[in-house]
């Protein structure tokens, strides 16, 4: 396989092999075509790229550094552990990369209102942020369950001027927030852009969101070569929808010697059925506009996912991940709540960095693969978000009185 | 000519539009749904759309979401849907299924078309499947003699309308509003124009749905469309008054169908 085999996906209709595509109501087809055209024009427009670059540097604070985690590495078989610090971006996660791009596109399409779904609240906060920056009306749909788990982020969105709508149907988590956002979009598509927050959904979202996040891997690759004179042996990232993972993977896809490792949320364990590991434990199906691996029963009904991490608690995954898994270019493993929380605590106590619980899944996976590979191996982890939003969940988990 | 096209032809010969009613299988129960559909047919419904309940109905508003939820909680499975098709077909009325795509794909595209046909079903409406993604579905429905119904929207370009018209074999479903299912006080003025555009690309019947709930709306639509589709209003009528409510609504709507 050459680099081109993979970089050339998706095809013109948004297919990554048998995955992806567009499974949406006819009413949305025109809006998706419009978005597709605006995206393609923008990505070859020097004016757009300059505007985006300027915001990435002076608003987000890019490039994000790479931090070597020496004390943490002692628990990971002595492998070298490097952290790509997306947690240091403005708003505290990688999510800002995508919303800046989509925010500028919204303006170019002449739309004045943005809607978004959010699970952990990181994408909601990022969307509310860019809406404030660009003067757009903003409505964020969030499962009622998640508004409780992530109360801090709800307050942040409100302070930023967004309307947060708690979704009280279904499992009251990310999946239902997406359903509600799609219903809003169908009804208001003339004025409204749906700022989808991950590499899932109908084409062109998986490709577009990937391209706005690939700066994570592009920077990392350059930083690795200039500081370490070599590429990492493993690039690891957590995968819910999979945007931070695709963001860091893309630059390395052509480097056949670099292993790409995605860590899915294992919840109580795959064997219990209470998890969110769609690639490891799901089956091929269509959800939210794309074909991918999803969690479903024998009748094609979506099974509710489970994870301590609201941001990974999603019963589908971006179609490009499904494709990378199918062709064997990336490997996906499952990390339980317990393993993730142990890694969470370890990073806090060894490096002075409180990670997002989502990110802690990648840390747990890195410990495991570090032990497999031992000294001399270099593992680059996408530290996709900071954990301030999770302090309450973590305190409760570890029995700390607040 | 299928049973479905017979129903449209009969309505046309009576100088009226056909009345098409939607109800999810298993709502309020498996038997209850069949009983309500029988009452609708007595009240004047020409064609029945049986909803395949799905966990993530992104095209549906609160009324149908609630009904689907009651159905799924009550234990509705794929087999329930096929069984309901059989019982409705036995009433002598054309039975269609309206289904989001994943339950059909999970069932097996060819198996579903085959079992649906064997149960006496005539056509399937697929609201989140556009012709672009429908190669397998077109092959399966062709070989199993099942009619396909795709949708057009107020936002559809001429080019897209042509594409949808080409891929459709049953009737063309024109969405009367931009939005999800649910009763509205008015439908868009633009819908008549959409129906006219569709007619330039197809000889197939055109039926209008989404937001349609009253005899007045039905009357307006009947002047230019071949069919009037009502869903949420039947769910509400059944919630309030069971089969009697379904029959009364069908009777009231029937009075609005004349040209």
A52 in any annotated domain: yes
What's phi and psi for A187, nearest 5 deg? -80, -25
**Within-domain flag for A2:** no
* Tens digits of pLDDT across chain A (402 residues): 444 445 578 999 999 999 999 999 999 999 999 999 999 999 999 999 999 999 999 999 999 999 999 999 999 999 999 999 999 999 999 999 999 999 999 999 999 999 999 988 999 999 999 999 999 999 999 999 889 878 889 999 999 999 999 999 877 888 999 999 999 999 999 999 999 999 999 999 999 999 999 999 999 999 999 999 999 999 999 999 999 999 999 999 999 999 999 999 999 999 999 999 999 999 999 999 999 999 999 999 999 999 999 899 999 999 999 999 999 999 999 999 999 999 999 999 999 999 999 999 999 999 999 999 999 999 999 999 999 999 999 999 999 988
Known catalytic residue: A277? no
Name the β-bridge partners of A66: A84
Q: Which of A156, A189, A209 is the last residue before a domain boundary?
A: A209
What tokens were used for B148?
Answer: 């396909």
Q: Are B48 and B40 in contact (CB under 8 A)?
A: yes
Closest by Cβ to A300, choosing from B105, B130, B132:
B105
In terms of domains, do A268 and A386 share one? yes
Q: Tell me the two tokens of residue A160.
A: 């930023």
DSSP 8-state symbol, B170: S
Q: Report the candidate in A133, A84, A289 with the shortest Cα–Cα distance to residue A199.
A: A289
Q: Does B210 touch chain A (CB under 8 A)?
A: no
B179 close to A (CB below 8 A): yes
Q: Which of A209, A233, A261 is the last residue of a domain?
A: A209
Q: Write the CATH number for A292.
A: 3.40.50.1100
Partner residue facing B102 (CB), from A189, A285, A298? A285
| Number of A–B residue contacts, CB under 8 Å | 112
What pLDDT does A172 receive? 84
Tell whether B12 is within 8 A of chain A (Cβ).
no
Angle formed at CA A121 by CA A119 and CA A126, multiple of 5 degrees? 125
Nearest chain A residue to B151 by CA: give it: A26
- Same domain assignment for residues A346 and A375: yes
Domain range for A50: 14-57+95-209
Those residues whose C-beta lies under 8 Å from the C-beta of residue A18, and which sit 6 or more positions away, are A284, A291, A323, A326
Q: Residue B215 maps to which CATH number?
A: 3.20.20.70
CA nearest A173: which of A126, A122, A120? A120
CA gap A96, A220 in Å, rounded: 17
- The answer to the question of residue A8 being in a domain is no
Residue numbers of A between 362 and 391 with CB closer than 8 Å to B: none
Number of domains composing chain B: 1
Does the residue A385 lie in any domain? yes
Give yes or no: residues A263 and A339 share one domain: yes
Q: Name the catalytic one among A64, A93, A111, A117.
A: A117
Residue A384 known to be catalytic: yes
Cβ–Cβ of B178/A300 closer than 8 Å?
no
User: How many domains, chain A?
Assistant: 2
Best residue in A25, A187, A287, A295 for a mutation probing chain B (most B CBs within 10 Å): A25
pLDDT of residue A8: 79
Domain end call among A188, A209, A230: A209
What is the domain extent for residue B123?
Answer: 3-254
Residue A169 confidence (pLDDT): 84
User: Could B157 and A30 be called an inter-chain contact, meaning their C-beta atoms sit closer than 8 Å?
Assistant: yes
Comparing CB atoms, the residue among B102, B127, B164 nearest residue A287 is: B102
Q: Are A281 and A270 in contact (CB under 8 A)?
A: yes
Judge whether A6 lies within some domain.
no
User: Is B60 a known active-site residue?
Assistant: yes
Cβ–Cβ under 8 Å, residues A215 and A62: yes
CB contact under 8 A, B106 and A299: yes
Q: Is the pLDDT of residue B218 over 50?
A: yes
Task: Examine the pLDDT at B180 and tell me if it is beyond 70.
Answer: yes
Q: Does B83 touch chain A (CB under 8 A)?
A: no
pLDDT (average), residues B225-252: 98
The number of C-alpha atoms within 13 Å of B251 and in the hemisphere containing its C-beta is 9
> Do both A73 and A181 map to the same domain?
no
CA distance linking residue A382 with residue A210, whole number of Å: 15
Q: How far apart are CA A272 and CA A293, in angstroms?
A: 18
- Catalytic residue, chosen from B49, B115, B147, B220, is B49
Interface of B with A in 88-127 (CB under 8 A): 101-107, 127
Do A36 and A107 share a domain, yes or no? yes
Question: Could you tell me if B208 lies within 8 Å of chain A, comparing CB atoms?
Answer: no
Rounded CA separation A172/A119 (Å): 10
Q: Is residue B124 part of a domain?
A: yes
> By CB neighbour count within 10 A (0-12 exposed, 13-18 middle, 19+ buried), where does B61 fall?
buried
Same domain assignment for residues A75 and A137: no
- B170–A contact, CB cutoff 8 A: no
Helices A26-42, A174-188: inter-axial angle, 10-degree rounding: 90
Task: Please check whether residue B259 lies inside any domain of the structure.
Answer: no
Looking at residue B1, its pLDDT comes to 56
Q: Is B149 helix (H, G, I), strand (E, B) or coil?
A: strand
- Check if A191 contacts B (Cβ < 8 Å): no
Q: Give the mean pLDDT of B190-203.
A: 97
Q: Is the peptide bond before A124 cis (omega within 30 degrees of 0)?
A: no
Burial A149-183 (b: 16+ CB within 10 A, else e): bbeebbebbeebebebbbbebbbbbbbbbbbbbbb
In order, the DSSP letters of B217-249 are HHHHHHTT-SEEEE-HHHHHHHHHHHHHHHHHH
Catalytic residue among B6, B14, B35, B60: B60
Are the C-beta atoms of A363 and A238 separated by less than 8 Å? no
On whether residue A7 sits in a domain, the answer given is no
Q: In this structure, how many other beta carbons lie within 10 angstroms of the beta carbon of residue B124?
A: 27
Q: Are residues A341 and A237 in the same domain?
A: yes
Residue contact B105–A169, C-beta within 8 A: no
Same domain, yes or no, for A38 and A86? no
On whether both A191 and A254 belong to a single domain, the answer is no
Inside any domain, residue B65: yes
Q: Tell me whether residue A3 is in a domain.
A: no
Q: Are A287 and B104 within 8 A, CB to CB?
A: no
- If asked whether residues A335 and A293 sit together in one domain, one would say yes
Q: Which of A220, A243, A334, A384 is catalytic?
A: A384
Q: Does A183 touch chain B (CB under 8 A)?
A: yes
Confirm whether A37 is domain-assigned: yes
Q: What is the pLDDT of residue A1?
A: 41
A7 inside 8 A of chain B by CB? no
ipTM, two decimals: 0.96
Residue length of chain B: 259
Distance CA B150, CA B175 (A): 11
Q: Which helix (H) or strand (E) holds A276?
A: strand A274-276
Tell me if chain A has a CB within 8 Å of the CB of B67.
no
């Amino acid at each position: 396989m050459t680099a081109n085999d993979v970089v050339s996906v998706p095809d013109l209709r948004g297919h990554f092999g048998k995955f992806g595509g567009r499974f949406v109501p006819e009413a949305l087809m025109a809006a998706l075509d419009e978005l597709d055209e605006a995206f393609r024009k923008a990505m070859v427009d020097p004016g757009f790229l300059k505007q985006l670059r300027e915001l990435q540097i002076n608003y987000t604070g890019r490039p994000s550094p790479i931090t070597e985690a020496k004390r943490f590495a002692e628990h990971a078989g002595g492998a070298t552990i490097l952290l790509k610090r997306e947690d240091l971006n403005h708003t505290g996660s990688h999510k800002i990369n995508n919303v800046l791009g989509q925010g500028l596109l919204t303006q170019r399409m002449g739309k004045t209102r943005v809607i978004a779904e959010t699970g952990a609240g990181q994408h909601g906060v990022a969307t509310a942020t860019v809406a404030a920056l660009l003067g757009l009306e903003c409505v964020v749909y969030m499962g009622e369950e998640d508004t409780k788990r992530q109360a801090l982020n709800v307050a942040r969105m409100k302070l930023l001027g967004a309307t947060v709508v708690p979704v009280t149907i279904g499992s009251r988590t990310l999946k239902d927030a997406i359903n509600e956002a799609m219903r809003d979009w169908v009804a208001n598509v003339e004025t409204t852009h749906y700022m989808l927050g991950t590499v899932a959904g109908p084409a062109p979202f998986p490709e577009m969101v990937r391209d706005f996040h690939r700066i994570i891997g592009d920077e990392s690759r350059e930083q690795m070569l200039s500081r370490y004179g070599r590429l990492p042996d493993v690039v690891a990232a957590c995968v819910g929808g999979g945007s931070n993972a695709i963001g860091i993977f893309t630059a390395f896809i052509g480097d056949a010697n670099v292993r790409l490792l995605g860590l899915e949320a294992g919840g109580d364990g795959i064997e219990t059925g209470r998890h969110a590991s769609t690639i490891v434990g799901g089956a091929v199906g269509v959800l939210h506009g794309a074909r991918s691996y999803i969690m479903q029963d024998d009748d094609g009904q979506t099974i509710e996912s489970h994870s301590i991490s609201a941001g990974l608690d999603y019963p589908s995954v971006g179609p490009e991940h499904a494709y990378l898994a199918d062709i064997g270019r990336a490997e996906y493993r499952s990390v339980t709540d317990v393993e993730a929380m142990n890694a969470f605590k370890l990073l806090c106590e060894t490096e002075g960095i409180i990670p997002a619980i989502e990110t802690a899944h990648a840390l747990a996976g890195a410990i495991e693969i570090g032990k497999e590979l031992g000294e001399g191996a270099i593992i680059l982890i996408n530290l996709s978000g900071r954990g301030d939003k999770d302090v309450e969940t973590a305190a409760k988990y570890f029995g700390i009185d607040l | 000519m299928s049973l479905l096209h017979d129903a449209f032809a009969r309505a046309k010969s009576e100088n009226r539009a056909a009345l098409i009613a939607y109800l999810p299988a298993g709502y309020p129960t498996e038997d209850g749904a069949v009983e309500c559909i029988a009452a609708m047919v007595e009240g004047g419904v020409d064609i029945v759309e049986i909803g395949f309940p799905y966990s993530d109905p992104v095209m549906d508003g609160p009324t149908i979401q609630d009904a689907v939820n009651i159905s799924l909680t009550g234990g509705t499975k794929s087999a329930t849907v096929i069984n309901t098709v059989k019982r409705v077909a036995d009433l002598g009325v054309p039975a269609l299924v309206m289904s989001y795509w994943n339950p059909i794909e999970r069932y097996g595209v060819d198996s579903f078309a085959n079992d649906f046909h064997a149960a006496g079903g005539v056509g399937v409406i697929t609201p989140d499947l556009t012709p672009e993604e429908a190669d397998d579905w077109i092959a399966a429905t062709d070989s199993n003699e099942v009619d396909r119904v795709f949708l057009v929207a107020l936002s559809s370009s001429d080019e897209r309308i042509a594409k949808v018209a080409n891929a459709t074999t049953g009737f063309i479903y024109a969405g009367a509003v931009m939005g999800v299912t649910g009763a509205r006080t008015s439908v868009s003025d633009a819908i008549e124009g959409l129906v006219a555009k569709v007619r330039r690309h197809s000889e197939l019947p055109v039926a209008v749905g989404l937001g349609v709930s009253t005899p007045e709306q039905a009357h307006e639509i009947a002047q230019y469309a071949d069919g009037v589709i009502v869903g949420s209003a039947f769910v509400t009528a059944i919630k309030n008054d069971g089969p009697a409510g379904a029959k009364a609504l069908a009777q009231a709507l029937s009075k609005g169908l004349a040209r």
